[in-house]
Chains A and B, each alone.
Chain A
Amino acid sequence: MKLVYYGPALSGKTSNLRAIHWLATSRTCGELMTLETQNDRTLFFDMLPISMHSRAGLKIRLKLFTVPGQVMHDATRRLVLQATDGVAFIADSQRSEADANRESFFNLKKNLEENGIDPERIPIVIQFNKRDLENIRTDQDLISVAKQSRETIYKAIATRGYGVMQTLAGLIRETWVRLEDEHGLEEKFGISPLQFMSEIEDQLKHDARRAGR
């Protein structure tokens, strides 16, 4: 299962992956691979492999990718997006970044289409990151947009690990349901989405608890 973290520059995509890497148990999580430039900006992508085992013996392998957010790396973003199963869109909560968020989302839509992926059908969740900063969209505001939003909305402070696992679990759930619809995974592997998610969430919950500490 390939999941891509998309979003504008400096919205915290890599921070999300770092937090997951830090929170997840070393048994589930592989090494975080980052390909970055000298000044710490993502050049090509980051990649975090995760593998989980269901009780039925099924092994689920996830690959989390981030795209480079800077506008000039559009070609790379398009390449990373190829054959993705789900997208977590990391938005910057700061009011000043609203335009950047929108622009990046349009770019996501365009690049999905160019890769032959229907943006209407692929699972997308939206995370409003940087909830700890000043001048952000209020919780009240997010609650009201969440009601209208087709995408599930999460709040996070990726640098401290808050909300990161919830976003990931949410994305995995939606992606699994979608894959189930398309490929009938239950029949093939004898595992229902519900069962699958409760197992995944068990493993992730354990990790999320570490964030609380």
Chain B
Amino acid sequence: MQDETSAADILTGDVVRLEDVLSRESVTSVSMSFFDLFRLPVRVISHEGDLLADVHRDQPLCSYLNTLADGARKCAATVATVRDLEPTADTIVHLCFTGAVYRVVPLVYQGRPIGRFIVGPYVPSEANGPPPSLSTIDGAVDRETARGHYDCMPRVREEVAEQLCAHLKGVIELLVFSGHRAQLASTMHVASVRENYRELAEKNEALKESYDDLKQLDKLKSTFLATVSHELRTPLTSIIGYTEMLESGAAGALNEGQTEFLRTIRGKADELLGLISSLLDLGRLEAENLELECEAVDSRALLSAVGSTIVPAANRRNVTLEIEVAEGTPKIWGDPIRLRQILLNLADNAVKFTGEGGTVSLSATEGELTAGGPSGLGTALFATTRRAVVLEVRDTGIGVEDGKLARIFDAFYQVDGGTTRTHGGAGLGLSIVKQLVEGHEGIIEVTSEVGRGTLFTVTLPAAENDA
């Protein structure tokens, strides 16, 4: 929480301590180059009184005077006075008893004092030798020595000194400006990132909530589906039962017309029952409580059974049916009823979508099944390969467009409305097939070419210890 307000604090607050926006190194480096150029000592002090840079060379005069008791006392007093000078608007020029000069220049940023720098001691070029005050300190001072040292002091004209100080002030204040700007920019940057993160986190939370809601809805849909289908089936069973009883003459003899009508009722009722069973299957599959009773299933027997079931339909549409089981195809490990359902669905579809004179072929060969992601990262490490049976259902029908191929396993999906009308069905078949195949730990793939036909490949685990 504290962090979050920091951007606002910085934006509304001020600079700011000098040392917050300028490193000691940079201040020292500027002072150093100033000293190198003009031989003028520089000290930079923050508003809080911290010495940030101190570039000077001990002056022989000062060193000499410091060896004298009175000199040392006066020197210390001068230094202390200069150090404590705090100019607010204009430079203070302080004169040392030696005749040297200190300039104390205020550093101002955004109208506020942030520190000061001291240039000196130096001797103004205008000066005519040391002042009398130099020789009035206690008797021990040697005039000649003092004079010699005095002449060695850095000299600069006052007018130039003023310009140099203005320049240094400008440079340091500009550095403060840049430093402050960089500081604001980085603070702002961090704050913006945090703010964006907060916003994203909120949105994620909202998304998660709506996702959970949707999941809940989906579950509700499955339950609804299961309940409704179940409830639909009960009266339908009675309808079928009573129809059968009528057909068998349990309520008296029927004429030809009545028998014909009853056959139609019976046929449509069976169709309806099939649809309702599919819905129930889907509901169970989605609830993931499908129970499989697995055993070793012979591929040839399976394909033949499926083939004979769809032969009538194929004949009606003049579609050739081919069945081919390769030598040595192992038995499939699966629930025979469900396997039949898978293949029947695919074969039935194939016949449905194949035109006059086309061919539908069912085949079985031995293959491999890779578990643990067929092409994922690190397949070599995680995947296990097992023996499998590859079942193929190929047709020469209308085919499916590439873009729609990915969705054909979705429940209630129809490639298009037109097809629905021509070919019937609720769009549940393939969805159920896929879930059944996955229930067997197998995989189903589809490739298709519009106008040329479609190929469904179902790979199912083979029964072990079986040839």
| CB atoms of A65 and B11 under 8 A apart | yes
Determine whether B8 belongs to the interface, using a CB cutoff of 8 Å to chain A. yes
Contact, CB under 8 Å: A45 / B188: yes
The answer, yes or no, to whether B199 is at the interface (CB within 8 Å) is yes
Question: Nearest-CB distance from B10 to chain A (Å)?
Answer: 10
Contact in complex: B12, A83 (CB < 8 Å): yes
CB distance from A3 to the nearest CB of B (A): 11
Chain B residues with CB under 8 Å of A59's CB are 111
Say which one of B179-187, B271-279, B367-375 lies at the interface with A: B179-187
B141 contacts across to A, CB distance below 8 A: none
Interface size bracket, A side: 20 to 34
Given contacts A44-B192, A51-B110, A75-B192, contact A83 B184 (CB under 8 A): no
Which residues in window 149-163 of A have CB below 8 A to B?
A: none
- Across the interface, A35 reaches (CB within 8 A) one of B12, B109, B188, B191, namely B188
Interface code B101-135, partner A: CB below 8 Å = 1, 0 otherwise? 00000000111000000000000000000000000
Among B5, B11, B12, the most chain A Cβ lie within 10 Å of the Cβ of B11
A193 close to chain B: CB less than 8 A: no
| A35 near B185: Cβ-Cβ < 8 Å | yes
B106: min CB distance to chain A, Å: 15
B: which residues have CB within 8 A of A?
5, 7-8, 11-12, 109-111, 177, 180-181, 184-185, 188-189, 191-192, 195-196, 199
Q: Are B177 and A82 in contact (CB under 8 A)?
A: no
Determine whether A31 belongs to the interface, using a CB cutoff of 8 Å to chain B: yes
Contacting residues, chain B, for A35 (C-beta < 8 A):
181, 184-185, 188
Q: Are B192 and A51 in contact, with the CB atoms below 8 A?
A: no
Within 8 A of B (CB), among A46-95: 47, 49, 51, 59, 61, 63, 65, 73-76, 78-80, 82-83
**9 A-B pairs with the lowest CB-CB distances in the bound complex, closest first:** A75-B195, A82-B8, A51-B111, A49-B110, A44-B188, A30-B110, A75-B196, A76-B192, A75-B192
B200 to chain A, nearest CB (A): 10
CB closest chain-A residue, reference B185: A35
Is there contact, CB below 8 Å, between B177 and A33? yes
Query: Distance (Å) between the CB of B97 and the closest chain A CB?
Result: 37
CB distance from A14 to the nearest CB of B (A): 15
Q: Tell me the bound Cα distance from A44 to B110 in angstroms.
A: 20
Q: Is A2 an interface residue (CB 8 A)?
A: yes
Min distance, Cβ A138 to any Cβ of chain B, angstroms: 38
B180: chain A residues within 8 A (beta carbon): 33
* CB atoms of A44 and B12 under 8 A apart: no
Determine how close the nearest CB of chain B comes to the CB of A66; give it in whole angstroms.
12
- Determine whether the beta carbon of B189 is less than 8 Å from that of A61: no
A79 touches B181 (CB 8 A): no
Q: A61 vs B189: C-alpha distance in the bound complex, in angstroms?
A: 25
Complex interface: chain B residues within 8 A of A79 (CB): 7-8, 11, 188, 191-192, 195
Q: How far is the CA of A33 from the CA of B191 in the complex (A)?
A: 19
A211 to B111, CA, bound (A): 24
Task: Return A186 CB to nearest CB of chain B, in Å.
Answer: 23
Q: Which residues from chain B contact A61 at a C-beta distance below 8 Å?
A: 110-111
List A contacts of B110 (CB < 8 A).
Answer: 30, 49, 51, 61
Residues of chain A contacted by B185 (CB below 8 angstroms): 35, 44
Report the separation of the CA atoms of residues A71 and B12 in the bound assembly, to the nearest whole angstrom: 24
List residues of A (26-40) whose CB comes within 8 Å of B's CBs: 30-31, 33, 35
Most A CB contacts (10 A, CB to CB) among B111, B181, B196 go to: B111
Q: Give 8 A-B contacts (CB < 8 Å), ordered by A residue.
A: A33-B181, A33-B184, A35-B181, A35-B188, A45-B11, A79-B7, A79-B191, A83-B11
Kindly provide the distance from the CB of A58 to the nearest chain B CB, expressed in whole angstroms. Answer: 13
Residues A47 and B184 in contact, CB atoms below 8 Å apart: yes
- Distance from B191 Cβ to chain A, minimum over Cβ atoms (Å): 5
Given contact pairs A75-B196, A78-B195, A63 touches B12 in the complex (Cβ within 8 A): yes
Bound-complex Cα distance A83 to B195 (A) = 16
4 more contacts with CB within 8 A, not counting A35-B184, A65-B11, are: A44-B188, A82-B5, A82-B7, A83-B12
